[in-house]
Chain A
Amino acid sequence: MGLLSYKDRTIKKLILLSFLIIGIPIASSAYAVEVIAHISVKDSTLSTSQLKRIYTMRQLRWSDNSTIKVFVLPSQHELHQRFSKERLQVFPYQLNRIWHKLTYSGLGVAPTIVKTPEALFNAIKSTPGAIGYIDTPSQDNNLDEGAVNVIKIEN
């Protein structure tokens, strides 16, 4: 009996622990970061590695060989920080370094920085091949989410 209750407690602890690990991050941010792309982009899913390659400028084309146009918010913007840590699993300062190196040494092109989430959404909506991110459910009711493709990110 004592053994059983010990097992019960262990299982309860494990369940609690799994909630702590899985449940808390979801519960702590009411808004999740979604990856969005221009309506013309055919790729509907990307792996985390692919997304990381796109944002570190190591993959420049969509699967149909069209050019990817990457958009971001300023590095200190809260949404950008969440996107890079949660979605890309890269620290924002690491992204800055890669982009600065490309931009100021002539070796490549870095993402286009826009000032607000609304401007980011509009840029994705109007630029063929564009990729970006938004908070969902959107804090801004004026955003017409059907005007962009939401990209599913698989691990």
Chain B
Amino acid sequence: MLSKLKTSAAIIQGAFLLVLLTLMSMPLYAQESTKPKENTVDLEASNNQEFFDTDNLQLHGFVALGVIDVNGSDFVNDDGSLSTELTEVGLNASWQLSSQFRLAGQVVYLDGGNRYEKGVRVDYALIDWSAIATENWQLNIYAGRSKNNHWLYSSTRTVPFARPSIILPQSVYFDGFRDIAVGHDGAGVKLSHSNDDYGNFDFNLTYGRSPISDEQAMNLLSEFATGNAKQEFDLQTSFYWQPAFSQWRFGLSLLDSDFTYQSAKPEKPDAFFDAEFSFQFYTLNALYEGEFWEFSGEVYQSRFKTTGFYFPQFHSDNIAQGYYFQTRYKITSDLTFLARYEDFYLNKEDKDGKKLEEESMGLIPAYFGYHKDTTLGLTYDFTSNLSLRLEYHWVHGAGRLTPVVVPNPRINDSEDWQLWAAQLMYWF
């Protein structure tokens, strides 16, 4: 099984490298394709046709810069000072090879302080096969590195202007888990059906895994974990339904994933032992889009099983639960107001975290057992592709701060902490 996984991983890695190289080798003047064809462009296009038809290439991107200030936690930085670590830059290309095949890739640069690793990433690099495309049915098969398309905002969480707020509900869209949850290297199927009587149906199924860097492993586990963390597999499915002539859409998603930890012992000192982690996550969501009002929410439960890690015979089985509800109101066509409440606890048998404090013999304070966030925000659209966003978060609890497995109460010594941020976003 493991060797099979390794072979498929090698094929997938090869596939997205190929996609990336092809996309990178394209000349930049292909941007012309987004402009309407005029006579002069026609001439240029016909000259390029031997290499590729510029009509079939689309280039897009975004730049977002901002300031963020956190008081009372290490969410962004350790000293609590005002930070400009709120940069997100992305560039993508989509190349239609034929009526059925398409290559697509996006590279992003992120700087979010402690939230995630700073640097350049391949966000996605995939081949898309449009196997069926009729008036009512569409079947697409994706291979390579794809974005997670299962949760309400999972596929747009990395796209500043396409998500509802600068900081998303951390219980679902946890930044510490971002690089693992944002997508996968593997394959996916998307089946869409549009019916005049019953509405729109979308079904997604994906299988793959995400590489885990040493820095991510440290963020998630502990700074004293010197071994290797690895995602063995990630299987996800989701189903969405929008009834005909309805402003509502309903969805559900299921996730099953296994991780392993290989201790650095005995070659190197390591505070931890070999481990197996199993993670399951289920969500239900609803979205209402009216002319002025919008309502959305997700309710979820996760199960996290640990075998080993702290000592070889260790075993734990933990169920976490949470929800968030969000509303957006269009004050004018350019100005949108946002309000959201999120409530999350790491153990449904220990909602106030007291057991956590007792079992850790006081090392982990009770407030690490939950995360409650009240958010207010405003977005102003200057033009069709330039917006400014402002928001304020009042957070109660430290349940969604890194590192996760072995928390750091020395820096995060406050049960209540606040955050404000402003971000200017441009896209094309």
Residues of chain A having any CB pair with chain B under 8 Å: 47, 49-50, 53, 58-61, 63, 67, 71, 74-77, 91, 93-94, 97, 100-101, 103-109, 112-114, 119-120, 122-123, 126-127
Collect the chain B residues with CB atoms within 8 Å of residue A63's CB. 135
19 residue pairs of the A-B complex, CB under 8 angstroms, read A58-B192, A59-B135, A60-B133, A61-B135, A63-B135, A75-B384, A93-B330, A104-B90, A104-B162, A105-B124, A106-B104, A106-B124, A106-B128, A107-B128, A107-B142, A107-B147, A112-B34, A113-B384, A126-B36
Pairwise interchain contact B138-A107, C-beta atoms closer than 8 A? no
Given A58-B138, A104-B90, A104-B106, A126:B155 Cβ within 8 A:
no
Interface contacts (Cβ under 8 Å), in number, total: 110
User: Known contacts being A53-B135, A60-B133, is A103 close to B92, with CB within 8 Å?
Assistant: yes
B36 touches A119 (CB 8 A): yes
A47 to B34, CA, bound (A): 28
**A127 and B194: CB pair below 8 A?**
no
| Minimum distance in angstroms from A42 CB to a CB of chain B | 14
Q: Is B37 an interface residue (CB 8 A)?
A: yes
B4 in the interface (beta carbon within 8 A):
no
Chain A neighbourhood of B228, CB < 8 A? none
A110 to chain B minimum Cβ distance, whole angstroms, is 8
Given known contacts A104-B106, A122-B37, A123-B37, is B194 in contact with A59 (CB within 8 Å)? yes
B333 to chain A, nearest CB (A): 8
A60 touches B155 (CB 8 A): no
Query: When A67-B99, A101-B156 are in contact, do A76 and B147 touch as well, CB less than 8 Å?
Result: no
Beyond the given A106-B92, A107-B147, please list 12 additional residue pairs across the A-B interface where CB-CB is below 8 A: A59-B136, A59-B194, A74-B384, A76-B384, A91-B291, A104-B60, A104-B62, A104-B106, A105-B149, A114-B36, A119-B36, A122-B36
Q: CA of A126 to CA of B45 in the docked complex: distance in angstroms?
A: 13
Known: A75-B384, A107-B147. A123 touches B194 (CB 8 A): no
User: Is B225's beta carbon under 8 Å from chain A?
Assistant: no
B219 adjacent to chain A (CB < 8 Å): no
Q: Does B190 contact A (CB under 8 A)?
A: yes
* A104 B156 Cβ-Cβ under 8 A: yes
Residue of B nearest to A104 (CB): B159
Decide if the interface of chain B is mainly helix, strand, loop or mixed: strand
The answer on a CB contact under 8 Å between B36 and A120 is yes
Encoded as 1 (CB less than 8 Å from any A CB) or 0, chain B from 128 to 171 comes to: 10100111101010100011010000011011011000000000
Q: Is the CB of B196 within 8 A of A49?
A: yes
Asked whether any CB of chain A lies closer than 8 Å to the CB of B381, the reply is: yes
Q: Is B289 an interface residue (CB 8 A)?
A: yes
A114 to B306, CA, bound (A): 54
Set of chain A residues within 8 Å of B140, measured between Cβ atoms: 107-108
Instruction: Report B92-133 CB contacts with A as 1/0, cut-off 8 Å.
Output: 101010010010111000000000000000011010101001
Find out whether the CB atom of B126 lies under 8 angstroms from the CB atom of A106. Answer: yes
B55 at the interface (CB under 8 A from A): yes
Q: What chain A residues lie within 8 Å of B156 (beta carbons)?
A: 100-101, 104-105
Q: Does B262 touch A at the CB level, under 8 Å? A: no
A109 to B291, CA, bound (A): 25
Interface flag for B7 (CB, 8 Å) = no
Shortest C-beta distance, A77 to chain B (Å), equals 8
Q: In the complex, are the beta carbons of B289 and A105 less than 8 A apart? A: no
Given A53-B194, A58-B192, A60-B130, does the pair A105, B99 have CB atoms closer than 8 Å?
no
Query: Are B36 and A100 within 8 A (Cβ)?
Result: no
Question: Contact at A123–B162, with CB atoms within 8 Å?
Answer: no
Interface contact B161-A100, CB-CB below 8 Å: yes
